[in-house]
Structure 1
Amino acid sequence: MNPKPSSIEEYFSWFSPEIQEKLQLIRETLLKAVPEGKEVISYHMPAIKTSEVLVYYAAQKNHIGYYPTNQPIIEFKKELSGYVTSKGAIQIPYDQELPLKLISDIAIFRREQAILAAEQKQKKKKKS
């Protein structure tokens, strides 16, 4: 397994300036989309967290991986038709422009999912 970075900056430093620039654009997009989000390293990758981790992103050999869990892949299927996707991952090739609006929209969707999950958890707690 890859070494675990101690910070987002350390993680970014492991890559070429071109890849660092793309990672930084994703970072800025996510922080703008979810301003209350906290940056964390989770599963050895940068991630944005509120009450739960919303999305992860990582530099891979030939693409940037964006990992928003499964539901956004289903919800944004039409918008993601030009990308390789799997159950909880989206591959954004390095030679393509970053779909920053889509990255933002998915993060906002995940934030709404997290809010609903937290509310349901609270309701459940009150009942017991």
Structure 2
Amino acid sequence: MAAAKTVDDYLAALPEEVRPVLQEVRRTLHAAVPGAGETISYGIPALTSGGRAVVHFAGWKHHISVYPVPDTAGDAALEAELTPYRAGRGTLKFPLNHPVPLPLLARVAARLLEQRTHRPEDPD
């Protein structure tokens, strides 16, 4: 399979059972990151703000992944909600055999945007 050049191309190449879930994830993340742009970064879709990647998302055969995990320092409630989905230091993994917690994904994206906006310039 050739590398996707657009998010729509990426979604079109997904298996039928994964595509609608990832489309809903895409809509949810866009609602949480107003005015976001889209790009393919590291071979997967990413939302951008101010030309900088905010959140990446990907569809796999059995799960959806969201990258990176926001800093949850000072927010024990958010950390508790994210803990069951952590799959490595910077990855959240949501199995497709359970409903994807879209409100949680919206909070993750909003938190990442806030952290990205208030962080000094750094290379992507």
TM-score by length of 1: 0.81
- Helix, strand or coil: the match of 1:39? strand
> Counterpart in 1 of 2:54?
54
CA offsets 1:37-86 (integer angstroms, 9 cap, x no match)? 11111001001111321111111232111112452599532002322421
TM-score by length of 2: 0.84
Higher alpha-carbon Rg: 1
CA distance in 2, matches of 1:91, 1:103: 11
Q: Which amino acid aligns with 2:94?
A: I
What are the ranges of 5 or more consecutive residues in structure 2 without an aligned counterpart? none
- Helix, strand or coil: the match of 1:25? helix
Q: Does the 8 Å CA contact 1:84/1:91 hold for their aligned counterparts? A: yes
Pairs aligned (count): 118
> Counterpart in 2 of 1:6?
5
| % same residue | 29
RMSD: 2.1
Q: Which amino acid aligns with 1:46?
A: P
Q: Does the 8 Å CA contact 1:5/1:44 hold for their aligned counterparts? A: yes
- The 3 A distance-change label for structure 1 pair 64 and 19 is same
- Helix, strand or coil: the match of 2:82? coil
What are the ranges of 5 or more consecutive residues in structure 1 without an aligned counterpart? 122-128
Q: Does the 8 Å CA contact 1:70/1:89 hold for their aligned counterparts? A: no
- Helix, strand or coil: the match of 1:15? coil
